[in-house]
């Protein structure tokens, strides 16, 4: 049996080293070690794994706090049965984050409510769990922040911050118009991130319509050239997941007017 003084000394060392995960796990691990349920190597691995789990949780919490994610979504929460057009293998492969290592982009296209934002956020959460710095923003908010930073004379700092994120999520491309000069500033951001870091986009517009979104067809073509050079395109075709509970309901104006009863006259038919 491990002596009380030895255990107390070990706990103090763990506390001095700032290892709360190991400190919390040490008693249960030593009991299993004394009962011959674990060998020395397994016991050491168990204590270290407990510490790594705590540090990983702290890192994830800190990363998510600065990421501006509006909510936490994971792949496990996604209902594939509602969107059968999706290639589950492709989505699962993306969540292995190989695209992040290769500095590739991901673009989710589809109508509102089909799960584009959910999948984009789940990729960001997966990256955060790997210790990557992530940042989220709608296109309107990101462009707005660039325009405001330029006005205040701190555009360089803002560009450096957004460029440095390992994964940038640009949500809702096409939902709101881009501010004047915003397209030029956003193009600069895309150019800075090109082949350096990955960006995930969601949009309800086809690429042909992006020129209207940014208000400059030539600049948009140059931007898409960079985005699509190393890119995974996911086109989601389906109905809104948020409106699924209303499926099958008729809108009032779509109801067929009730037929009025007719009354026959000699040689003719009159409808009343």
End-to-end CA distance of the chain: 99
Write the CB contacts of 222 (distance below 8 Å, at least 6 apart in sequence): 187
pLDDT digits (tens, 9 = 90+) for 85-143: 899 999 999 999 999 999 999 999 999 889 999 999 999 999 998 889 999 999 999 99
Whether the CA torsion 237, 92, 173, 186 is positive or negative: it is: negative
Helices (H), the chain: 4-16, 20-34, 40-67, 88-94, 98-101, 116-129, 139-151, 155-164, 182-193, 207-214, 217-229
Range scoring the smallest mean pLDDT among 61-65, 75-79, 170-174, 201-205:
61-65
Cα→Cα distances 119→56, 80, 116, 141, Å: 22, 11, 5, 20
Counting beta carbons within 10 angstroms of the beta carbon of residue 256, is it exposed (0 to 12), middle (13 to 18) or buried (19 or more)? exposed
Q: Please tell me the distance from the alpha carbon of residue 255 to that of residue 113, in angstroms, as a whole number.
A: 25
> What would the two tokens of residue 69 be?
């994610």
pLDDT above 80: residue 232:
yes
What residue spans in the chain does CATH classification 3.40.50.300 cover?
75-242
Name the pTM for this structure: 0.74
Q: Please tell me the distance from the alpha carbon of residue 134 to that of residue 169, in angstroms, as a whole number.
A: 8
pLDDT digits (tens, 9 = 90+) for 34-57: 888 989 999 999 999 988 888 877
Band (243; pLDDT cuts 50, 70, 90): low
Q: Give pLDDT, residue 177.
A: 83
Phi, psi of 34 (to 5 degrees): -65, -25
Band (241; pLDDT cuts 50, 70, 90): low
Residue 217: how many CB atoms within 10 A of its CB? 12
Pairing of β 268-271 and β 262-265: antiparallel
75-242 fold: Rossmann fold (3.40.50)
Candidates 211, 102, 225, 123; CA nearest to 170 is 123
Region 61-78 average pLDDT:
86
pLDDT digits (tens, 9 = 90+) for 198-211: 999 999 999 999 99
pLDDT above 80: residue 33:
yes
Q: Please tell me the distance from the alpha carbon of residue 122 to that of residue 76, in angstroms, as a whole number.
A: 9
pLDDT above 80: residue 256:
no
């Amino acid at each position: 049996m491990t002596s009380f003084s030895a255990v107390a000394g070990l706990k103090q060392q763990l506390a001095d080293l700032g290892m709360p995960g190991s400190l919390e796990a040490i008693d249960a691990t030593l009991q299993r070690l004394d009962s011959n349920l674990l060998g020395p190597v397994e016991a050491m691995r168990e204590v270290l794994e407990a510490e790594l789990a705590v540090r990983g949780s702290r890192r994830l919490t800190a990363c998510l706090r600065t990421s501006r994610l509006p909510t936490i979504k994971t792949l496990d929460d996604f209902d594939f049965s509602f969107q059968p057009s999706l290639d589950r293998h492709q989505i699962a492969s993306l969540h292995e984050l190989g695209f992040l290592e290769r500095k590739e982009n991901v673009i989710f296209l589809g109508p509102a409510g089909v799960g584009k934002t959910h999948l984009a956020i789940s990729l960001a959460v997966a990256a955060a769990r790997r210790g990557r710095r992530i940042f989220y923003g709608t296109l309107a908010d990101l462009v707005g922040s660039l325009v405001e930073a330029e006005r205040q004379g701190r555009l360089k700092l803002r560009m450096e911050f957004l460029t440095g994120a390992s994964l940038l999520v640009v949500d809702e491309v096409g939902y709101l118009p881009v501010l004047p000069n915003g397209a030029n500033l956003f193009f600069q951001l895309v150019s800075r991130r090109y082949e350096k870091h990955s960006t995930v986009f969601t949009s309800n517009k086809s690429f042909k319509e992006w020129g209207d979104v940014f208000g400059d067809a030539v600049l948009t073509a140059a931007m898409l050239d960079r985005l699509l050079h190393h890119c995974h395109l996911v086109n989601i075709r389906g109905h809104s997941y948020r409106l699924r509970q209303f499926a099958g309901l008729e809108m009032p104006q779509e109801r067929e007017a009730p037929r009025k009863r007719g009354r026959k006259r000699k040689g003719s038919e009159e409808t009343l």
